[in-house]
Structure 1
Amino acid sequence: MTRYFKQFWPSNLLYLGLTTITSIQTILSALLSAAQLNALIKFDFPLFLRWVLWDVGNFIILLAMYYWQAMLRAKTTQKMDNAVRDDLTNRICALPYTAYHARQTDDYSSWLSNDINQIETQGFTNVYSLVDSGLIALFSLITLVTMHWTLAAAALGFSGLMIVVPVVMRRHMAKASQLVSQKNEHFMQVVNDHLKGFDTLLALNHQPLLHALIHDAQQPLAAAKVHQTKIQAIASTLGNFTNITAQISIIFITALLAFQHIVSIGLIQSTGTLSFRVFSMLASLSSQLTLISGTNALFTKYDQLPAPAAKESQVLSTVTSGFVLRDLTITYGQTKAVADLNQDFRLGGKYAIVGPSGSGKSTLFNLLAGKLTAYTGSLTLNGQEYRTLSTTAIRDQVLYLDQIPYIFSGTVRDNLTLGDDYPDAALIAALQRADLWDQVRRLPQGLDSGVGENGRTFSGGQRQRLALARGFLRHKQIVLMDEGTASLDKDQALKIEETLLADPKLTVLMITHQLYPEIEPQLTGVIRMMPRREQPEPAPVAHLA
């Protein structure tokens, strides 16, 4: 957390300066109150009125300083929130495919929303509150020390006691905060998972399951929050008990000194106010420090993600030759998903890959698409070994299409550009190449027409074509289609497959369980894969020129 305060040090230094000024003004207000009381005791109205006017003037300035301080604090807090979120997002973006999918997407959503909110409320907010109350307490303590040595001794003694008493709760509060974060992650997983499945529950008239699951999932989160509050309440009670005892003692000592004419009677009001400032701050010190330290667990969790690597400079030169696989083996644990595969996929070739489930087709595609990186044997593209290429370089050439491509909420333009800047002519050309432009231009707003949540206003075939157009816009030369037309009817499936096969610039590899006779003549080759247990020994060599 410290690094974010350092990152925005000019704003935080200015805030510290403002807080110092407001703290001094607050102490001054307490002393002015003592002067007013002393004037009243003397029945000196002009003197009393003078001190009141000074107090009013000080108060007006204090209000203005508070406003400026609050605005600076809010703006700086949001800047630090955004910086934490940006750093976390960069780490998530740097995750390789397998590492990203080791967690659920809902976990990352919870980190970027709930955890950041927790860092703000328990971390940044408490640090600022600690600075505010700490400076006032420091100046209050200095003022008490200058009044009389007995007040100084009592204030220092009770201060030490109030620091020691609640420390025993710190570890318990840190555990409670971490438990709330864990339970919240689980709750978000359940909620998002079943909200996404609402249409399925609706079709089965089973919506009550959604309510029941969310109701059950919120109970552990509620219990964790209650436990956290309980720990905080115990710490607060211990601190407040010591706080009240300390304040009463300081006022009593001041009264004794006033009876002996050592200090003025008006100082009873000032010492009461000053001691309240000191001991209230110390009463909350332990809980604030614990809440702040509790956020360390969140930063530790983020730091376990790999730091974003330096921008990869390795790129594929103009691709002039396709994939060459020699004795390629991909292993999951102790299982060989693909074993000793030998195959050539030439540029511009069109290949269908068929075989039963478990034969390694999707695993092979995940490797070719750069999602997986571990293999033995040899796999080259453009004569360059895959393991020596950056995954960024691979993805610059390869477009992976699965059965249901993800379409973002927004417009057709948004889904094509994905935040990049392309002229309309390039967008239209990509849509024409994907055979989708005629349908898009008939939409009410053309490129700027909305596609609905996850592209729901588009048919399955249109979503596939829109995903294709994304790749064409970025000049992808190789298309891997993993059951990309399996959810479409035959006419739509054939149209998309024929669009790909008819494009001479494309190298197409498509996994299919339904190889239509209409397209077989257009294929360069058909590769049949079998599960490892069905493969004879030694494994056959499949090679097509």
Structure 2
Amino acid sequence: MKTYLKRFWKENAVVFFLLTVTNVIQTIVSVRMAASLNTLVNLDFESFFKVLAEVMGLFLVFLLVLNVQINKTSETKQKMATAIRTDITKRMEQASYTSFHQKQVGTYTSWLSNDLNTIESSGFDLFYQILGGIIATVSSVIALFAFHWSIVVMTIVLTALTLSLPKLYENKLKTASLSTTEENERFISKVTDTLNGFDTFFSFNLLQKLTRNTQEASVALADAKNNQTRVTAKVAILGAFGNILGQLSVTGLTGYLVFRSLVPIGAMMATSDLAAVIFNTVGNLSQQLAAMRAVEPIFEKFETLEISTEKSSEKIPTVLSGIELEQVGYAYGDKQVLEKVDASFELGKKYAIV
């Protein structure tokens, strides 16, 4: 995935800038809302409404930039997805006949559709979420210095703890994610084969196999997805625990500082909001990073399609003058339809087989 992020670095740099603007504005708003509470405590209504007007202006700018950011992010993501599909099909062009046919067409279809959807949602989308979260966290930590250094120290310590907990299941999540994509390939291949055999099933009165085969493949896919969900849930719970612990600890410390008259009462509102941003980001970060890393095996899977470095010596049968059949037969199940048939088909002529 890094390859495509670097290839489209200009587009991603624009997205980074827009994410920075939106997240910094939100941080400034949190700090200014603390000032509004202080003006209320001092019964300074004129200053209170001035702060509200300032915050309204910041929100309007935020919404305008957010609109541009959402559109630019989507455009960049689709450019990278198209580039991945192009690279996969180029590998197909350069693969030997034998290499290409080592996998079924349904598998390649899954690469270009389902796997690309996974890369978009669990790869690029999460990358932008993580990037935005990191920007918001850094700006929030800087903002906390405006209130008291001890709040920053506690935040850093609890952030490290929150990040370390979900790593216990990182490898399991990676394995579960790969298993789901592989099972999805098998599902598509089996369903494709089953539906292609409709005529045969119909002839032998075995149409119930359509439902049976699809159900079996669906159950296997469901098991893989449920296993992935169970692992993801454990990662999420550990992250949520760190999130809750961090927010409550920062709020408690700020309350203590207010009682000691070391910070104004408005700091309660600001530090609470900033802590929520930091620990919501950090609480989800391990889960998001693990899910994003789980996309790596998908890219590695694309590399399994071998590229032929030399001109293939394989001979694909071609019809030059016609087809000669000698002593051939054909059976439809147990029923012998043709036996010891000789036939000649000349190139360029038309024949009807009845």
- Note whether the superposition's TM-score is higher than 0.5: yes
In structure 1, the residue matched to 2:88 is 88
* Structure 1 contact 400–480 (Cα < 8 Å) conserved: no
CA shift in 2, pair 1:153/1:197, >3 Å: same
Residue identity opposite 2:44 in structure 1 = D
In structure 1, the residue matched to 2:269 is 269
TM-superposition CA deviations, 1:320-368 (whole Å, max 9, x none): xxxxxxxxxxxxxxxxxxxxxxxxxxxxxxxxxxxxxxxxxxxxxxxxx
| Corresponding residue SS for 2:145 | helix
Structure 1 segments (4+ residues) deviating >6 Å: none
Which aligned pairs between 1:274-423 and structure 2 lie closer than 5 A?
Answer: 274-307=274-307, 372=314, 400=318
Count of aligned residue pairs for this structure pair:
338
Residue identity opposite 1:49 in structure 2 = F
Q: C-alpha separation between the residues in 2 aligned to 1:201 and 1:482?
A: 31
In structure 1, the residue matched to 2:335 is none
In structure 2, the residue matched to 1:59 is 59
* Structure 1 contact 162–239 (Cα < 8 Å) conserved: yes
How high is the TM-score relative to the length of structure 1?
Answer: 0.59
* Structure 2 contact 321–346 (Cα < 8 Å) conserved: no
Does 2:189 align with 1:189? yes
Q: Give the Å deviation of 1:308.
A: 7.0
In structure 2, the residue matched to 1:253 is 253
Q: C-alpha separation between the residues in 2 aligned to 1:482 and 1:41?
A: 100
Q: Give the Å deviation of 1:81.
A: 0.6
In structure 1, the residue matched to 2:334 is none
Q: C-alpha separation between the residues in 2 aligned to 1:132 and 1:26?
A: 12
In structure 2, the residue matched to 1:35 is 35
In structure 2, the residue matched to 1:124 is 124
Which has the bigger relative contact order, CA under 8 A and spacing at least 6?
2
* Structure 2 contact 235–287 (Cα < 8 Å) conserved: yes
Q: Give the Å deviation of 1:48.
A: 1.1
Q: Give the Å deviation of 1:482.
A: 8.2
Residue ranges of structure 1 left out of the alignment (5+ in a row): 313-369, 374-394, 402-477, 502-513, 515-545
* Structure 2 contact 99–306 (Cα < 8 Å) conserved: no
* Structure 1 contact 146–152 (Cα < 8 Å) conserved: no
Q: C-alpha separation between the residues in 1 aligned to 2:24 and 2:308?
A: 45
Q: C-alpha separation between the residues in 2 aligned to 1:118 and 1:160?
A: 29
In structure 1, the residue matched to 2:164 is 164
Residue identity opposite 1:120 in structure 2 = E
Compare the two structures and name the one with the higher helix fraction. Answer: 2
Q: C-alpha separation between the residues in 2 aligned to 1:11 and 1:134?
A: 19
In structure 2, the residue matched to 1:351 is none
Does 2:49 align with 1:44? no
In structure 1, the residue matched to 2:238 is 238
CA shift in 2, pair 1:35/1:500, >3 Å: same
Does 2:217 align with 1:217? yes
Q: C-alpha separation between the residues in 1 aligned to 2:284 and 2:321?
A: 61
How high is the TM-score relative to the length of structure 2?
Answer: 0.89
Q: C-alpha separation between the residues in 1 aligned to 2:65 and 2:313?
A: 55
Q: C-alpha separation between the residues in 2 aligned to 1:482 and 1:134?
A: 70
CA shift in 2, pair 1:480/1:244, >3 Å: farther
Q: C-alpha separation between the residues in 2 aligned to 1:308 and 1:229?
A: 39
In structure 2, the residue matched to 1:100 is 100
* Structure 1 contact 179–224 (Cα < 8 Å) conserved: yes
Q: C-alpha separation between the residues in 2 aligned to 1:219 and 1:249?
A: 45
Residue identity opposite 1:83 in structure 2 = A
Q: Give the Å deviation of 1:6.
A: 1.1
Q: C-alpha separation between the residues in 2 aligned to 1:41 and 1:479?
A: 98
Residue identity opposite 1:221 in structure 2 = L
Q: Give the Å deviation of 1:303.
A: 2.0
Q: C-alpha separation between the residues in 2 aligned to 1:242 and 1:25?
A: 26
In structure 2, the residue matched to 1:497 is 346
Q: State the percentage of identical aligned residues.
A: 30
* Structure 1 contact 400–482 (Cα < 8 Å) conserved: no
Q: Give the Å deviation of 1:479.
A: 5.6
* Structure 1 contact 98–371 (Cα < 8 Å) conserved: no
CA shift in 2, pair 1:127/1:479, >3 Å: farther
Residue identity opposite 1:282 in structure 2 = V
Residue identity opposite 1:180 in structure 2 = T
Q: Give the Å deviation of 1:116.
A: 1.0
In structure 2, the residue matched to 1:21 is 21
CA shift in 2, pair 1:29/1:100, >3 Å: same
* Structure 1 contact 174–291 (Cα < 8 Å) conserved: yes
* Structure 1 contact 166–235 (Cα < 8 Å) conserved: yes
Q: C-alpha separation between the residues in 1 aligned to 2:324 and 2:229?
A: 50
Q: Give the Å deviation of 1:309.
A: 5.3
Quote the RMSD (CA, aligned, Å). Answer: 2.5
Q: Give the Å deviation of 1:486.
A: 9.7
Q: Give the Å deviation of 1:43.
A: 2.0
Q: Give the Å deviation of 1:107.
A: 1.2
